[in-house]
Structure 1
Amino acid sequence: MDMSHEYASEILDYYNGGAEKDRLQRGIGQIEFERTKELILRYLPAEKQVIYDIGGGIGVYSRWLAEMGHEVHMFELAPEAAKHAMELQRSHPSFNYNIEVSDARQLDRPDNSADFVLLMGPLYHLTEKSERIEALREAKRVLKENGVMILSAISRFGSALWGLSVYGDKNDFIEDDDFMEMIGRELTDGQHIRSEKYPHFIARAFFHTPAELKCEMEEAGLCHEKTAAVEGPVWIVPAFEEKWAGRESRERLLAICRMVEEQESLLGMSPHLLAVARNR
Structure 2
Amino acid sequence: MLDRDVRTYYDRGGERTRLDGTLELLRTKVLLERLLPAPPASVLDVGGAFGVYATWLADRGHRVRLVDPVPLHVDTAAREGVDAVVGDARSLDEPDGGWDAVLLLGPLYHLLDRADRVAAFAEARRVVRPGGVVLAAAISRWASTYEALLTELGTVPGFADLVRAELATGTRRDSVDLPHGFTNAYFHRPDELPGEVADAGLRLSDLYAVEGMAHWIPDQVARLSDPDFRALVLDLIARTEREPATIGATSHLLVAARRP
TM (norm. structure 1) is: 0.88
Query: 1:63 is matched with which residue?
Result: 55
> Deviation at 1:175?
3.8
The one-letter amino acid of 2:167's match is L
| SS class of match (1:262) | coil
Structure 2 residue 212 is the aligned partner of structure 1 residue 217: no
Structure 2 residue 76 is the aligned partner of structure 1 residue 84: yes
Query: 2:230 is matched with which residue?
Result: 250
From 133, 140, 146, the equivalent of 1:161 is 146
Do 2:138 and 2:254's aligned partners in 1 also have CA atoms closer than 8 Å? yes
| SS class of match (2:9) | helix
The one-letter amino acid of 2:229's match is S
Do 2:37 and 2:100's aligned partners in 1 also have CA atoms closer than 8 Å? no
Do 1:17 and 1:80's aligned partners in 2 also have CA atoms closer than 8 Å? no
* 1:89-104 matches, cutoff 5 A: 89=81, 97-104=82-89
Task: Give 5+ residue unaligned stretches, structure 2.
Answer: none
| SS class of match (2:130) | strand
Q: Any runs of at least 4 consecutive aligned residues in structure 1 with deviations exceeding 4 A, and if so which?
A: none
Q: 39-48 or 130-139, which moves further after superposition?
A: 39-48
The one-letter amino acid of 2:67's match is F
| Residues in 1 aligned to 2:248 and 2:14: alpha-carbon distance in whole angstroms | 24
Query: 1:93 is matched with which residue?
Result: none
> Deviation at 1:177?
4.8
| Residues in 1 aligned to 2:221 and 2:118: alpha-carbon distance in whole angstroms | 37
From 120, 124, 133, the equivalent of 2:109 is 124
**CA distances 1:201-255 after superposition (whole Å, capped 9, x unpaired):** 3310100011111211111111001110001101222243342121111111111
The one-letter amino acid of 2:226's match is G
Q: 1:151 to 1:226 in 2, by over 3 A?
A: same
Query: 1:35 is matched with which residue?
Result: 27
Do 1:125 and 1:204's aligned partners in 2 also have CA atoms closer than 8 Å? yes
| Residues in 2 aligned to 1:73 and 1:220: alpha-carbon distance in whole angstroms | 22
| Residues in 1 aligned to 2:178 and 2:137: alpha-carbon distance in whole angstroms | 24
Structure 2 residue 43 is the aligned partner of structure 1 residue 51: yes
From 112, 117, 135, the equivalent of 1:150 is 135
Structure 2 residue 255 is the aligned partner of structure 1 residue 275: yes
> Deviation at 1:87?
2.6
Query: 1:16 is matched with which residue?
Result: 11
**CA distances 1:35-84 after superposition (whole Å, capped 9, x unpaired):** 10110111222241111101111111111111112111110001111112
Query: 2:215 is matched with which residue?
Result: 235
* 1:166-185 matches, cutoff 5 A: 166=151, 171=152, 173-185=153-165
TM (norm. structure 2) is: 0.95
The one-letter amino acid of 1:192's match is R
Q: 1:175 to 1:68 in 2, by over 3 A?
A: closer
Do 1:56 and 1:74's aligned partners in 2 also have CA atoms closer than 8 Å? yes
Query: 2:65 is matched with which residue?
Result: 73
Do 2:102 and 2:128's aligned partners in 1 also have CA atoms closer than 8 Å? yes
Task: Give 5+ residue unaligned stretches, structure 1.
Answer: 90-96
* 1:201-212 matches, cutoff 5 A: 201-212=181-192
| Residues in 2 aligned to 1:78 and 1:248: alpha-carbon distance in whole angstroms | 38
Q: 1:22 to 1:65 in 2, by over 3 A?
A: same
| Residues in 2 aligned to 1:222 and 1:272: alpha-carbon distance in whole angstroms | 21
| SS class of match (2:158) | helix
> Deviation at 1:148?
0.6
| Residues in 1 aligned to 2:56 and 2:176: alpha-carbon distance in whole angstroms | 35
> Deviation at 1:88?
2.5
| Residues in 2 aligned to 1:118 and 1:128: alpha-carbon distance in whole angstroms | 20
Identity of aligned residues (%): 35
The one-letter amino acid of 1:53's match is D
